[in-house]
Amino acid sequence: MMNAATGMLKSRLASESSVEGSRSELLWLIPLVIMFVALTATAEILSIINGTSAIAMIADYGWKALRLLPTVAFIGLVVQLALAPIKHPKNPLSAVIAQWRSALSDPYFLAARVAPILMMPFFFASFSVLKMLMPRYIPFWGDEPFAAMDRVLFFGQQPWEITHAIFSTVEATRMLDLFYSVWVLLLSLAIAGFALFAPRKERARFFLAFGGAWFFLGFIGAWLGSSAGPCFLAYLNSPIAPEFAGLMDRLHAASNAMDTKAQAVEWQQMLWRGYENQTYAFGMGISAMPSLHNAIAVLYVFMAFRIGKLLGVVMAVYAVIILIGSVHLGWHYAVDGIFSAFGMWGIWWVVDSWCRKSGYDASVDAQAGLPR
């Protein structure tokens, strides 16, 4: 009787501890939801005032953001099953099934996996609409000072002159264009992978920093630093457009020499038509400072180094390629990428500090036996 009572007590305490541990997921989910609501509400209110709707674009963004979800889920499960005999040599399949059954039956762990997936299309649609609406409220003012900063930083030259001197061939431009385009696929891969398979600490840090990047850099930063970017200066009749005429001539010449036109050139032409016609649709909107391409690439570096040094080095190289490509392809000034990198570092520092000091990390460590 005594042993039975002791066993029941231990089971109850373990259950209560499990619930308390899983409830700690709210420590990062709540701030993420606050940013989600603030961004979505702001975008929808402003879009309704201007005769459109951010929420109406959710389906398009959902497909783009989550299109790799089934593939990632399948590959992740295969890898998990392949590694299971190492971690659970006695009964690997049962261990994996028990892990997922436990995770799916806990509302907090389920929310930690599903909520970010559901929120991301809203983040992207809201960001895009706010980017489209930005010039109506804040004209592009930042191109001239940002270009001037680049001249100072690069000793009187524009950074594109350096990149096109080093990467002067059509093939080099093609590769930079390819790496820049792959960023979109990595976005979908990262969302699905971190939501479904990342350890708890990594999942919390990724999505909280990811949401912070889109909210503080993609929305607030873009509106404060309203700028179009080098590729649009001629269209806008900017007084500094001649400084970038050589860049656009080289970019278009390289694109015309390719079998298929460079993605950067196609998108730049499409975005300008959307801007001229005030088209509110998927992927539209012009904004240079700060660069979300660069910011998210830097976030990948932080996350990759938490996983392993080799992966961290690979993603650091990729982040440098994105920075070079953003200038070489005419999307950004160098200071856009530099500011974005420091901005992402600041967001990461806040998120990492929050996870440690709020008690989240301690809770995860205390519940090390729970599904991750």
Q: pLDDT of 144-197, one tens digit each? A: 999 999 999 999 999 999 999 999 999 999 999 999 999 988 988 898 889 888
What confidence score (pLDDT) does residue 324 get? Answer: 98
Pair of tokens at residue 107: 């509302």
What integer pLDDT is reported at residue 80 of this predicted model?
66
Is residue 111's pLDDT more than 80?
Answer: yes
With bands split at pLDDT 50, 70 and 90, how would you rate the model's confidence at 14? Answer: very low
Give the list of residues 6+ apart from residue 284 with CB closer than 8 angstroms, or none: 128, 131, 132, 271, 274, 275
Helices (H), the chain: 2-23, 26-49, 58-66, 69-87, 92-105, 107-137, 143-153, 159-166, 170-196, 200-212, 222-224, 245-257, 263-276, 292-307, 309-328, 334-357, 360-366
Burial of 256 from C-beta contacts in 10 A (0-12 / 13-18 / 19+): exposed
Q: Where is average pLDDT lowest: 17-21, 218-222, 292-296, 327-331?
A: 17-21
| Residue 175: Cβ within 10 Å count | 14
Residue with tokens 């499960």: 77
Is pLDDT above 70 for 13? no
pLDDT of residue 10: 41
Average pLDDT over residues 216-237: 95
Question: Is-contact 113 193, C-beta < 8 A?
Answer: no
4: phi > 0 → left, psi -120 to 50 → alpha, else beta; which? Answer: alpha
> How far is 36 from 211, CA to CA, in rounded Å?
8
Residues of the chain with pLDDT > 90, as a percent, come to 58
User: Is the full-model pTM beyond 0.85?
Assistant: yes
Residue with tokens 């990492």: 352
Q: What is the chain's length?
A: 372
Task: Give the residue-averaged pLDDT of 110-137.
Answer: 88
Give the pLDDT band of residue 318 (cuts 50, 70, 90): very high
